[in-house]
Chain A
Amino acid sequence: TQLLEQSPQFLSIQEGENLTVYCNSSSVFSSLQWYRQEPGEGPVLLVTVVTGGEVKKLKRLTFQFGDARKDSSLHITAAQPGDTGLYLCHAGGTSYGKLTFGQGTILTVHP
C-alpha cells in the first residue's frame, strides 16, 4: 500500500538554487527517514525525525517533520552537483507490513 506521496517526482535545477522536496501522507507515523541514493548504489540514510514539528539540519539540508507527524519536507540551500541523486522518504508504522517508502524525487543539479 502506497502510504507516502513525494513531490515533485523530478527536479532539475542550476547550481546555487534552493529547492524543497515534500513527503505527504494521510497516516500518522512514529518516525520518518530521508535517504539519498546514487546510481548503482543503495540508499544512504540522511536523517531520522521522530517528534512532531522537529527540525534537523545537516549542513545545507534542512529536514522538518510536520506537527501532526503525517508529512515532512527536505529543503536544500544553494544546491551543488554533488546533491544529485534520488531522494527517498520512509516512514515507520506499527508493524512491518506498514513500512513504506515514497516513490522518490530525482534531483539533478547542473553546474
Chain B
Amino acid sequence: ETGVTQTPRHLVMGMTNKKSLKCEQHLGHNAMYWYKQSAKKPLELMFVYSLEERVENNSVPSRFSPECPNSSHLFLHLHTLQPEDSALYLCASSQGGQGYGYTFGSGTRLTVV
C-alpha cells in the first residue's frame, strides 16, 4: 500500500466520547501534519511532527491531542469535542517541510452530535 492512509473515513461521535483518528504514510517522508478543513474556511494547520519535533498551532483547543510514535504513524486523539469541531480532518506528509509539496490522505469526515 502506498501514499497516505487515514482511518476511519467517517466518524460520528457524541460530545462526551473519546475517539482517535489514525494516519499512516508509506512514502518515507520525515514530516507529518494534521489539518482541519471546515466549510467556507481555509485549511487550518493544527499540528506538525518533523524529525520527531512537534510544532502546533496555538489556537488549537486542548481537546485535540496528537501523537506520533514513529515517522510513519500519526494519531489525533479526540476528547469532549464540540459540534463546531465537525469538519474534514486531513493528514499529510512531506519530505522536508516549510513549503515542500504535501501528500494528503483522503481525510476523516467527523461529525460531533
Please tell me if the beta carbons of B104 and A99 are within 8 angstroms of each other in the complex.
no
Total interface residues in chain A, CB < 8 Å:
30
Bin the interface of chain B by size.
20 to 34
Please tell me if the beta carbons of B106 and A42 are within 8 angstroms of each other in the complex.
yes
Interface on chain B toward A: helix, strand, loop, or mixed SS? loop
Report the bound CA distance from A44 to B90 in whole Å: 12
A96-B55, A97-B55, A103-B41 are known contacts. Are A91 and B106 too (CB-CB below 8 A)? no
Encode contact with A along B15-52: 1 for CB under 8 Å, 0 otherwise.
Answer: 00000000000000000000000000111010010100
Please tell me if the beta carbons of B101 and A42 are within 8 angstroms of each other in the complex.
no
- Which residues of B approach A to under 8 Å, CB–CB? 4, 6, 41-43, 45, 48, 50, 55, 57, 90, 92, 97-107, 109
Q: Assuming A100-B42, A104-B42, what are 14 further A-B pairs, CB within 8 angstroms?
A: A31-B100, A33-B101, A40-B109, A42-B4, A42-B92, A42-B104, A42-B105, A42-B106, A44-B104, A45-B101, A48-B100, A90-B99, A96-B48, A96-B97
A sample of 6 inter-chain contacts (CB < 8 A) reads A29-B99, A31-B100, A42-B4, A43-B102, A97-B55, A103-B41
- Which residues of A approach B to under 8 Å, CB–CB? 2, 4, 29-33, 35, 40-45, 48, 88, 90-97, 99-104
